[in-house]
Structures are given as structure tokens and as C-alpha cells.
Chains A and B, each alone.
Chain A
Amino acid sequence: LAKTTQPISMDSYEGQEVNITCSHNNIATNDYITWYQQFPSQGPRFIIQGYKTKVTNEVASLFIPADRKSSTLSLPRVSLSDTAVYYCLVSNSGGYQKVTFGIGTKLQVIP
């Protein structure tokens, strides 16, 4: 599995757009990129997944450049309730693989 690197923490003011970038230099051709969000004392929850270019849903957007060596999770106009830890995962459908979530990025939204 491709190793991922993301910032440990970020701060943002309410109403701003937040971009969290994840590096995955060794991503394989059939790998997908998935992001999870975790609130304190809860389990992580799936928020978005993509393979290339751009994916958007009601929660976030995911931007993946052509070389796919990184991806950026974009949260539009964050609110205090977006304060959470965000994890980036890389995986494929080639069978079961042990997945590590790492430490993630702790986003603190400031009023």
C-alpha cells in the first residue's frame, strides 16, 4: 500500500475554505484515495473517495492531479462542527490489505 503523508494539524476561521493535502508518491495504478472524518469519541466516517480529477459531494470536494501523487480534500466554508481529525487512505480492490489510518490531520475551526 502507498504510504501517505498529511499535516498533523491545521487551524481555520469559520466561513473559510479549508484544503488538506495528502501526499502518496507511491500510489499504484489501481489505487483509490479515500478520506474519513473523525469527531472526538466517535469512530471515523467515510466522507469522500476518488480516483482522478475532481469528485464533489454534499460534504466536500476531492481534487486529484493528473500524476495522482497527492490529493486535496476541500471543505467549503467550514463551521465549528467541522472541527475533527481527517484521515487520507490509499487502497485498491486487489484483495484484502491491512490498512493503517495514521495520525490524520487535526482541523481546529476557530470562531
Chain B
Amino acid sequence: KAGVTQTPRYLIKTRGQQVTLSCSPISGHRSVSWYQQTPGQGLQFLFEYFSETQRNKGNFPGRFSGRQFSNSRSEMNVSTLELGDSALYLCASSLDGQAVYGYTFGSGTRLTVV
């Protein structure tokens, strides 16, 4: 079966711009979680969506938002980009969001803010 697809793979944006990243989960999976990864910081949880509803949110400013569509595809948006937003953004697909059943990650979107 197809894996988790994240688009685009690479992105360069200017400070102040906004960006939208996309994640298509594995077919049948209803949960999508988003993580930000910067060097030395590990994976920082952004938010999780299940059946089009945000169930949990990490400690990120309101500039970070997301949504999930009826086909479980998810997008995250970052507005008013800052240099510190440069990172690898990863999404994780799972059946119902329960970690015990395993997450499948996409390859990520590498965002560079200049």
C-alpha cells in the first residue's frame, strides 16, 4: 500500500510569507499528527487531527494552524514566517492516533526561511 506522502519535499520562503504543507496519510488511516524537527530539538509535537477535528495541540504560537479534510488528507499552515521556523516538518499517519498501534511517518517537508 502507498505510504505517507508529504508535499512539497523542499521549500524556500522569505520572512513574513506564509506557507502551506500537505500530508496524505495511508489509506484507511484517520489520524494525522504533525511534528517540527530542528537540529538538537527532537520532534516537537504541533497538533493531531482525527476525523477532521483537532484533538490536541502542542505549544506553538497561533501562526501554526492545520486542518484535515474528509478524505483524511491534512494541511498545516504557517503564517508570518520567521527565520526560526526553518525546520523539517513531519507528519505521522495512524489508524486512530493511538501510538501503541504505530505511526507511519512521511519523508517530511524541509522548510527554509530566508
Contacts and interface: CB of A to CB of B under 8 A. Distances in A.
Contact of B42 (A42, A43, A101): A101
A102 B42 contact: yes
B90 A49 contact: no
Contacts of A45: 104-105
A87 to B, nearest CB: 8
A20 B42 CA distance: 17
Contact of A100 (B45, B55, B100, B106): B45
Interface residues of A, number: 25
15 contacts: A34-B99, A36-B103, A41-B108, A42-B105, A43-B91, A43-B92, A43-B105, A43-B108, A44-B103, A46-B102, A46-B103, A91-B99, A95-B98, A98-B56, A99-B99
Given A46-B103, A103-B42, 5 more contacts: A34-B102, A96-B48, A96-B50, A99-B99, A101-B43
